[in-house]
Amino acid sequence: MDASRLCNSITLQMSAASSAGRRSNSSSFTCRAHQARMGRPAAANFYQVLALEPENAGADAVKRAYRSLALRHHPDVCPPSGKEEATRTFVEIQRAYEILSDPVLREEYDHQLGLVGSAKQRDQRDEERRRVYPKEVWMEQLRELKSRSMSRMGKKKLECL
C-alpha cells in the first residue's frame, strides 16, 4: 500500500518538477540524480539538513548532530503513521551525514556550495589533503610520472634509431 503511494508521489513530483520548469529538492531520486550530474547541489544543503553551520561543524559536531536527529527521525522510533515521512527524512539525514563525515567528499561538496575560497579555508583544506592523501598516494603519482617519462624516452630512442 505504501509502496504504490511512494511510487505515485515520485511520479507526481517528477511531473511537477518538470512542468514547473524547475528542479525539485524533494525525494524525487531521478531529479536529484540529474542535479548532481549537472554539479548543482540540492536546495536544502547538507549543513542545513543536520542543522549545522559550515564554519564550526567539526567531525564531532557532525556526529553529534546526526545522532540526535536520528533519535528523533529514524522510522524505528516514529509512530506507524509517520513511518513513511520519517524514512524520507532519515534517508536525507543519512546522506548528509555520509558526505559531511567524509573529509574528501565534504571538501568536494563545500567546493560545490562555493564555501571554499578564503585563504584560511584553503590552508585548512591543504592540511586535510595532507592527512587524507598520505605519502603512498603521492609516491604512486610520482611513480606514474616516472613511468610516463620512461616511455617517452623509449619512444625518443626509437625515433633516433
Binding site for another protein (CB under 8 A): 3-4, 6-7, 10-11, 14, 18, 23, 27, 29-37, 41-42, 63-64, 67-68, 70-71, 74-77, 79-80, 83, 86-87, 90-91, 94-95, 99, 105, 108-109, 112
Q: Residue 28: what are its φ and ψ, rounded to 5°? A: -70, 110
d(CA 83, CA 81): 6
Least distance to another protein, CB of residue 87, Å: 5
Q: What is the CA radius of gyration of the chain?
A: 22
Q: How far is the CB of 34 from another protein (least distance, A)?
A: 3
Cβ closest to another protein, residue 112 vs residue 121: 112
| Of 41 and 54, CB closest to another protein | 41
Least distance to another protein from the beta carbon of 153, Å? 32
Nearer to another protein, 10 or 115 (CB): 10
Q: To the nearest whole angstrom, how small is the minimum distance from the Cβ of residue 94 to another protein?
A: 5
- Which residue is it, cell 564550526? 56
**Which is closer to another protein, CB of 133 or CB of 152?**
133
Cβ at position 67, least distance to another protein in Å: 4
Name, in order, each residue with C-beta under 8 angstroms of 59's C-beta and a sequence gap of 6 or more.
101
CA-nearest of 103, 106, 96 to 32 is: 96
Report the alpha-carbon distance of residue 60 to residue 58 in Å, rounded: 5
- Cβ proximity to another protein, 55 vs 76, nearer residue: 76
Calculate the alpha carbon distances from 100 to 46, 89, 123, 149 in Å. Answer: 7, 17, 19, 38
